[in-house]
Structure 1
């Protein structure tokens, strides 16, 4: 049993949840902010503070460029503050900007070109995506991936699979023209296709056959008791030794697989948001810091590899969330820069101030709603 398994063995204890949560969140936040920091330095921007967490400083140091590296009391995020910023959200201090000398303008984020500012802002989410790809690739290279053949062991009575004509022994070869290499490949496509007819090609005793199936939307519990809504056909995988293998991959193949895994997280997240808008998905699946802490503790009980996998998934999710065009988030800044590039001048300080207030309200409401979902989830689990 490794360290993370031992921590997870505390069950519902505070240590068993808090330490894995801090491990996951700190890595994700650090790389996000380091993306901003690294590109800002390359663009000649003076970075005044690099903070992990918010609120009073617990400890820190100044580097040779004058940047204050700090760890703060509330570990629910972080920020990089540039010269000329009024706050951690990189809102410019109008009075300070107007009073800058020529030398100060050269190192001010606000006075950089639109392209440079956009590059600095986009670097945070990009760093999250790169981190996820590297973690996934590392897992596939050094630990490997369990591959279970997409062979049907049992067909559930009365299920969508029985109605479509599946039989035990069928091997799923493709769904809607997409090759299937494993049972988990099939589950991913089926899970995202509830209520949608799919075309499934199976190998039945050496003969290729085509079946039409419509997965049912069902609620099921994962290994940690969390309720998920997903598409189900009603098939059970084969677990015979010849159908279960464990493969490691060379670094280049693993890197490409890391890109694919990251894209899968993005695709499912966007699909879920689209489902929220259309009404086909429920908002009670949204989770906040409490749910993440709980899941981190549960995953830590499995081991370091599972916790790293969660870190990669969370990194992609945070990178994508920050690209939404909401003021206060990176995507909101990028939207402002796109407008500035189109108009030839930035929008007014008053308009920016109002937009940031609206953005702050939206972010706070989302956090409150997600935390309320967490509390309800804990109370009913």
Structure 2
């Protein structure tokens, strides 16, 4: 039986996921700007008409707007979409003291840090959550030894045997058994190289990963790669306090690597673009996770935070990564890019982002069965 959280809970859960994460992201920009003495004129959660807000003693307008699909910090002097160090007549007309507190007045390395601080704060949130999880529950560190091989599985066809120690999967080093499903699960149907140690001798094998279609309690279907092996008794170890940051950073890095792999699969056509989801899909899953309890909800929120950090670092104009790319070019050529080139790049970036949003929204509606129902009504 498919359980649904209902529209009110879905909306509330979505706002509880996306609102705080946008706030965290923009807070990274805001505090980095404050450290370097840049005045923030506005801190907005959402776009469009202001629903409510207030102005603090520093002159920053804190506002919540009607469309909660993003946010921004508007720094003093940030007068063009490229946020570049190109003097304008309006900027030059400012009093010297006021001009010194503008974004444009700051050295390149400070502007770079201010822009990078948003995505990095999303990653920091995930790291802190994983630190808390590992502190309470410990961390799974099961040896990468094959205990059993499932009959008829990809592992059996590849020649894996009980007692084999797997050291590498698809070129990625294996430290513990838990690393294996994380690599295999996102590669259904692909042929992967395996490096194993059998009776003390290294051995190279190839496996065509099996495909398993899973359906969760909400009716969502997932194609998952399956190798067909199981470990011995799972081993959970306590993580000493001083190792918590390293373990959490490693976990976050593994998730980012999985995102890079998945994006590469979509680009190369090995994974269907129909699997890409947008705000509507995030809202749906937010509601579903809310019915599973706070722990699952926070972990889902952590995954979305990593996604936000990763996506914002992509070198696409209008995203933080696009700004950072321009700053790196500026650092190499020792001067800002031509304003006309920046304007063209940002217009192109806006068009790309709008097209992508339309595409993932169509995907989301298709996953909800909207187009099928419309076709039935028309037919």
TM bin, normalised by shorter chain, reads: 0.7 to 0.9
**2:355 corresponds to 1:359:** no
Give matches, 1:75-86, under 5 Å. 75-86=68-79
Please tell me whether the aligned partners of residues 175 and 201 of structure 1 are also in contact (alpha carbons under 8 angstroms).
no
What is the aligned counterpart of 1:227 among 216, 221, 230? 221
Give matches, 1:271-282, under 5 Å. 271-282=261-272
1:83 shift after superposition: 1.0
Relative to structure 1, is the Cα distance of residues 13 and 148 closer, same or farther in structure 2, using a 3 angstrom cutoff? farther
Q: Deviations over 1:98-154 (max 9, x none)?
A: 432222210111221111111110111111111111111111113445677767676
Q: For 1:227 and 1:251, how far apart are their aligned partners in 2?
A: 39
State the superposition RMSD in angstroms.
Answer: 3.0
97-106 vs 243-252, greater mean Cα deviation: 243-252
Q: For 2:5 and 2:167, how far apart are their aligned partners in 1?
A: 42
**2:313 corresponds to 1:323:** yes
Consecutive unaligned residues in structure 1, runs of 5 or more: 1-8
What is the aligned counterpart of 1:126 among 120, 123, 129? 120
What is the aligned counterpart of 1:290 among 276, 280, 286? 280
Relative to structure 1, is the Cα distance of residues 213 and 246 closer, same or farther in structure 2, using a 3 angstrom cutoff? same
1:40 shift after superposition: 0.5
Equivalence for 1:305: 295
Q: For 2:179 and 2:28, how far apart are their aligned partners in 1?
A: 32
Please tell me whether the aligned partners of residues 161 and 213 of structure 1 are also in contact (alpha carbons under 8 angstroms).
no
Consecutive unaligned residues in structure 2, runs of 5 or more: 373-379
Please tell me whether the aligned partners of residues 164 and 211 of structure 1 are also in contact (alpha carbons under 8 angstroms).
no
TM-score, normalised via structure 2 length = 0.85
Q: For 2:107 and 2:346, how far apart are their aligned partners in 1?
A: 21
What is the aligned counterpart of 1:61 among 54, 60, 84? 54
Relative to structure 1, is the Cα distance of residues 171 and 199 closer, same or farther in structure 2, using a 3 angstrom cutoff? closer
Q: For 2:159 and 2:266, how far apart are their aligned partners in 1?
A: 32
Please tell me whether the aligned partners of residues 201 and 208 of structure 1 are also in contact (alpha carbons under 8 angstroms).
yes
**2:186 corresponds to 1:196:** no
Q: For 1:148 and 1:263, how far apart are their aligned partners in 2?
A: 19
TM-score, normalised via structure 1 length = 0.84
**2:24 corresponds to 1:31:** yes
1:226 shift after superposition: 3.4
Q: For 1:367 and 1:159, how far apart are their aligned partners in 2?
A: 39
Equivalence for 1:164: 158
Equivalence for 2:4: 11
Please tell me whether the aligned partners of residues 50 and 69 of structure 1 are also in contact (alpha carbons under 8 angstroms).
yes
Q: For 2:83 and 2:67, how far apart are their aligned partners in 1?
A: 19
Q: For 2:298 and 2:164, how far apart are their aligned partners in 1?
A: 32
Equivalence for 1:181: 176
Q: For 1:368 and 1:315, how far apart are their aligned partners in 2?
A: 22
Q: Secondary structure at the match of 1:328?
A: coil
Relative to structure 1, is the Cα distance of residues 150 and 220 closer, same or farther in structure 2, using a 3 angstrom cutoff? farther
**2:36 corresponds to 1:43:** yes
Q: Aligned pairs, how many?
A: 364
Q: Deviations over 1:62-83 (max 9, x none)?
A: 2221111111121111110111
Q: For 1:219 and 1:357, how far apart are their aligned partners in 2?
A: 42
What is the aligned counterpart of 1:107 among 101, 117, 128? 101
Q: Secondary structure at the match of 1:214?
A: strand
Q: For 1:147 and 1:270, how far apart are their aligned partners in 2?
A: 24
1:41 shift after superposition: 0.7
Equivalence for 1:5: none
Q: Secondary structure at the match of 1:70?
A: strand
Q: For 1:95 and 1:230, how far apart are their aligned partners in 2?
A: 57
88-97 vs 64-73, greater mean Cα deviation: 88-97
Q: For 1:149 and 1:75, how far apart are their aligned partners in 2?
A: 45
What is the aligned counterpart of 1:212 among 205, 212, 221? 205
1:258 shift after superposition: 1.1
Please tell me whether the aligned partners of residues 278 and 357 of structure 2 are also in contact (alpha carbons under 8 angstroms).
yes
Please tell me whether the aligned partners of residues 41 and 60 of structure 2 are also in contact (alpha carbons under 8 angstroms).
yes
